[in-house]
Structure 1
């Protein structure tokens, strides 16, 4: 059995589609402590370790964000906060002032099952708040920019969709979908099937499913 840490039924259905009935994916409603980090892989890995310790069963955590090149990747891991506080139109106004409006949606799936495997090295967040310092002290540095907690390895799978920011168009989707254009169409102008076909989350899930089936 695999536990997916999410309260989103749509994400759960998508995971089941990619992993198949044999994987027995079940929802886990668990409020992890999200760290302050500038990389979504580090955020997802930390949450995966917390969730595994909570249920003592294999878990996956998904984290995603919108990364705008001209804004040095902002809002990135702070996408939900920026949407809530600024709103998508103000994010678009920031990007509108730039000549380069290229952006990407990125998704990360983090897997932890308490067993040993070749974990994915993670970026070190050197500005992490105090509650996360103990975890850093237990970590073993592999390079100046990567860490791995030896007792709980985590495997990372990433999905990526390139595009650019545009003035809001379309009535569908959610979040930043109206201002993110891929191949001439915003995510908000796509129907569910069209969006799922290029989904950053779907691409990450596909990579994970292939690895998980072999595992």
Structure 2
């Protein structure tokens, strides 16, 4: 019997990418665009777990559900903007985010995805994927968050936005986190 899991997102691009990343797992992935409060915290695990607690409350205990939270951390700023990258993007835009690092030599960054999953028994599980890279002037399409300003170390000089989806998914923070999640589901199904 195919397992049904709810992914809490209203972002169609993110849903498509996650469906692609989890295609090897026998499951039916549905989505719910729940309005969850985001805890103001620097710990990505704490933020994801707090969102998951809200989702479980809204969907009912026993419903397999997961949330995903993505962060972009700058080494020069000791991890900021981190989980706040979404708000930095919204208020500043890509160009100003890049300019924040202009006076500094260190442009190193990490892209991090944290997945929090509640299984049928209500147990919580957390998975994380990290990709190291650097912040660069925007290159490629700008329709998917900050992909055009993040150049992974293992991308042969391309930003996420310049890469084809398959190549990006092999090295991306999201791809790494969902690989761990998928492996867990296959082992525990």
Shorter-chain TM range is 0.7 to 0.9
In 1, the alpha carbon distance for the partners of 2:184 and 2:25 equals: 16
Matched, 1:170 2:140: yes
How many Å apart are 1:169 and its aligned residue?
A: 2.0
* Corresponding residue of 1:206: 179
* Corresponding residue of 1:139: none
Q: Is the 8 A contact 1:44 1:110 kept in 2?
A: yes
* Corresponding residue of 1:6: 9
* Corresponding residue of 1:81: 87
Once the two structures are overlaid, the 10-residue window that deviates more, 156-165 or 175-184, is 175-184
Q: Is the 8 A contact 1:47 1:61 kept in 2?
A: yes
In angstroms, what is the RMSD of aligned CA positions? 1.8
Q: Is the 8 A contact 1:101 1:165 kept in 2?
A: yes
Bigger radius of gyration among the two: 1
Write the mapping of 1:136-151 to structure 2, written as runs, cut at 5 A: none
Matched, 1:15 2:18: yes
* Corresponding residue of 1:101: 107
Q: Is the 8 A contact 2:116 2:124 kept in 1?
A: yes
Unaligned runs of 5+ in 2: none
- Relative to the length of structure 2, the TM-score reads 0.86
Q: Is the 8 A contact 1:19 1:209 kept in 2?
A: no
Shift of the 191–114 alpha-carbon distance from structure 1 to 2, 3 Å rule, reads closer
Once the two structures are overlaid, the 10-residue window that deviates more, 4-13 or 59-68, is 4-13
Q: Is the 8 A contact 1:172 1:190 kept in 2?
A: no
How many Å apart are 1:27 and its aligned residue?
A: 0.9
- Relative to the length of structure 1, the TM-score reads 0.76
How many Å apart are 1:165 and its aligned residue?
A: 1.0
Write the mapping of 1:101-140 to structure 2, written as runs, cut at 5 A: 101-113=107-119, 115=121
